[in-house]
Structure 1
């Protein structure tokens, strides 16, 4: 199993070019076709303009066209240097709807964590989370802070026995097979004992697919959430990729109480492969 089609989300943010470089490198790994999907924030509620405001609007639209051209040229240049088979897409319509439609025809999505200090990184509220939820495809989300020096050498799988975790693990197989180290970790509430056979079964499934993995449990303290516990584990093990299921609980509960997915989308320190 390999990824044959990758889709990278491109916008006008500072980290977009770094995301493209990662996507190009991954396309080289699997000799995959690469799609650059340019989707940016759209203001759908423009008031009526007087003549001066209309002029400013025309100038803003001209600047938007120039930014799109700059992003396209950078994407094409990066892909040409790597000798990749590529496509450039600029769909019309609402951002999330357009991105979801195109994402469903890719094997892996390369997305970026929203940077709260970069207005150009904002597409719409919870864009990445909603795209992961609606696309039905695995998404590799790249953090906005720090450089990604390695990707997939040391991988940690966050296992909780859920359908989403199983989906993410299966979707990550091309990366897992290339890793030097793979660990499976269960975050266990304080006072409970881990169900060891479950971890053994996960490791056995991976071994059947040519992936040797270690198994561990990490106790979760009452004052520390599961997401923060996983981030601490990532740091302790020098992990460069976390694999996890996304939105294992209902969206209502996630919105009210936060949840592991929200923690990762807000506070990730390494790339995270998510699947729902």
Structure 2
């Protein structure tokens, strides 16, 4: 099993080149077609241009075209250096969230970047990454803005709670899990955590039918820490390079509300996280 079409989100942030490099590495791994989707904030232009609303529209549009062309050239140059020819550039017009969701639905795996509050050019729309994960119906590999990704998918931690979202995430991650050196299914225990063990054992047995040798563990929640923070601590202790988990969210009034663990990961991730909804 493998991913045949990957989609990487490209913007004008300083993190975009690292995302592109990772997506090219994955595309070569599976001999997959890679789509570079350039989508930036459509309300105000990124970076310093946000402070320049008084500029004439034509001047702002010219600057936007310049940034778009720079991103286009950088993407194609990176693909050429990587020796991967099956790439495609897209820079569609329209509301960023709607456009990204539409194009994401025609890919097997999305490669997205964690929002960085210290880099204005990484802002696309409110909760852009989280909304895309929940609405696109596709698994998304979210890359943290801090640090560098040295390896991906060698040591994998699956956050399991027996939910539909967790089951979807594990199935969506199979191309990565099948080639991992070490996989563990982990449950963050609640007060009645002892009753959760058989559920984790069952999913490990299911993975075995797909040739994935996975161990099972149950982690007590750290005192004063939520489940998301406990998972991140567990991943650090085990030198995990990929976390697989379900993404949770629902609409409340006019805002999208993310589940506690999902919100923690989107805000505080320290390693790449594959999320599915």
Q: Could you tell me the TM-score, scaled by structure 1's length? A: 0.92
Q: Which runs of 5+ in 1 are unaligned?
A: 45-52
Structure 1 residue 163 corresponds to structure 2 residue 161:
no
Aligned to 1:173: 174
Instruction: Show the 5 A alignment for 1:1-276.
Output: 1-43=1-43, 56-81=56-81, 82-190=83-191, 192-221=193-222, 223-247=224-248, 250-252=250-252, 259-276=260-277
Distance across 1 between alignment mates of 2:55 and 2:238: 55
Shift of 1:221: 4.0
Maintained 8 Å contact 1:139/1:275 = yes
Distance of 1:117 and 1:221 partners within structure 2: 29
- Quick one: distance in 1 between partners of 2:223 and 2:237? 20
Question: Is the alpha carbon distance of 1:251 and 1:184 closer, same or farther for their aligned partners in structure 2, counting shifts above 3 Å?
Answer: farther
Alpha-carbon distance, 1:256 to partner: 6.2
Counterpart-to-counterpart distance in 2, 1:182 and 1:251: 33
Q: Is this contact kept in 1: 2:112–2:143, CA < 8 A?
A: yes
- Contact 2:162 2:200 (8 Å CA) reproduced: no
The answer (yes or no) to whether the contact 2:114–2:142 under 8 Å persists in 1 is: yes
Q: Distance in 2 between matches of 1:131 and 1:224?
A: 27
RMSD: 2.0
- Aligned-partner Cα distance in 1 for 2:226–2:211: 33
Deviates more, 1:191-200 or 1:203-212: 191-200
Closer, same or farther in 2 for the Cα pair 1:257/1:155, shift >3 Å? closer
* Conserved? CA contact 2:133–2:276, under 8 Å: yes
Distance between the aligned counterparts of 1:95 and 1:27, measured in 2?
Answer: 24
| SS of match in other structure, 2:88 | strand
Structure 1 distance, partners of 2:251, 2:239, is 31
Indicate conservation of the 8 Å contact 1:34/1:85, yes or no.
Answer: yes
C-alpha contact 1:111 1:141 (8 A) present in aligned 2 = yes
Q: For residues 265 and 113 of structure 1, what CA distance do their matches in structure 2 show?
A: 6
Q: State the Cα distance separating 1:131 from its structure 2 match.
A: 0.2
Name the CA distance, whole Å, in 2 between partners of 1:238 and 1:206: 21
Aligned partners of 1:92, 1:256: CA distance in 2, in Å? 27
User: Per the alignment, in what secondary structure is the counterpart of residue 195 of structure 1?
Assistant: helix
> What TM-score, normalized by structure 2, do the two folds share?
0.92
CA distance in 1, matches of 2:103, 2:36: 10
Contact 2:24–2:84 (8 Å) recurs in 1: no
**Matched residue count:** 268
